[in-house]
Amino acid sequence: MMKNSHSAFLPLLNDLIDLATRQKSIGCPIKVVFDIDSTLFDVSHRICEILRDFAKLPEVLLKYPKEAETLSKLVPDIDDFGVKRTLARHGFVWPSHDFAFQIVSFWKTHFFANTYLHHDKPYMGAKEFVCALFNAGADISYLTGRDVPRMWNGTLESLKQCGFPLDNDHANLVLKPNSDITDVEFKRNYFKQLGGASNPIWFFENEPANIHEVMEHCPHVKIIFVNTVHSESAPPPPDSIERISNYII
Ligand SMILES: [Mg+2]
Q: What is the pLDDT of residues 7-20, one digit of tens each?
A: 699 999 999 999 99
| Domain range 11-42+121-244, its CATH number among 3.40.50.1000, 3.60.15.10, 3.30.56.10, 3.40.50.970 | 3.40.50.1000
What is the CB neighbour count within 10 angstroms for residue 97? 10
Ligand 1 center to 212 CA (angstroms): 14
Q: What is the pLDDT of residue 14?
A: 96
- In this prediction, residue 183 carries a pLDDT of 97
- Spatial neighbors of 176 by CB under 8 A, at least 6 apart, are 144, 145, 146, 147, 148, 183, 186
What distance in angstroms lies between residue 131's CA and the mean position of ligand 1's atoms?
Answer: 19
**Residue 79 Cα to ligand 1 middle (Å):** 13
Average pLDDT over residues 25-30: 96
pLDDT confidence of residue 232: 84
Q: pLDDT exceeding 70 applies to what percent of the chain?
A: 95
pLDDT over 90, % of the chain: 82
CA atoms lying within 13 Å on the CB side of residue 239: 0
Mean pLDDT of 13-36: 97
Is this prediction's pTM over 0.85?
yes
Nearest alpha carbon to residue 225 among 202, 200, 201, 206? 206
CA-to-CA distance for 39 and 126, rounded, in angstroms? Answer: 9
For residue 145, the CA-to-ligand 1 centroid distance in Å is: 8
Pairing of strands 222-226, 242-244: parallel
168 CA from centroid of ligand 1 (Å): 23
Q: Using 50, 70 and 90 to split pLDDT, how confident is the model at 95?
A: low
Supply the mean pLDDT for the chain.
93
Cα–ligand 1 centroid distance for 57 (angstroms): 29
Task: Please give the pLDDT value at position 22.
Answer: 97
CA of 210 to the centre of ligand 1 (A): 9
CA of 244 to the centre of ligand 1 (A): 14
Structure confidence at residue 96 (pLDDT): 61
Give, as one character, the DSSP assignment of residue 196: S
Distance 95 CA to ligand 1 centre (A): 25
Is 174's pLDDT higher than 90?
yes
Q: What residue spans define the domains of the chain?
A: 11-42+121-244, 44-118
Which of 5, 6, 1 lies closest to 125, judged by CA?
A: 6
Rounded Cα–Cα distance for residues 128 and 161 (Å): 14
Tell me what pLDDT residue 168 has. Answer: 84
Residue 2's pLDDT is what?
Answer: 43
Please count the helices (runs of H) and the strands (runs of E) in the chain: 10, 8
The pLDDT value given to residue 1: 39
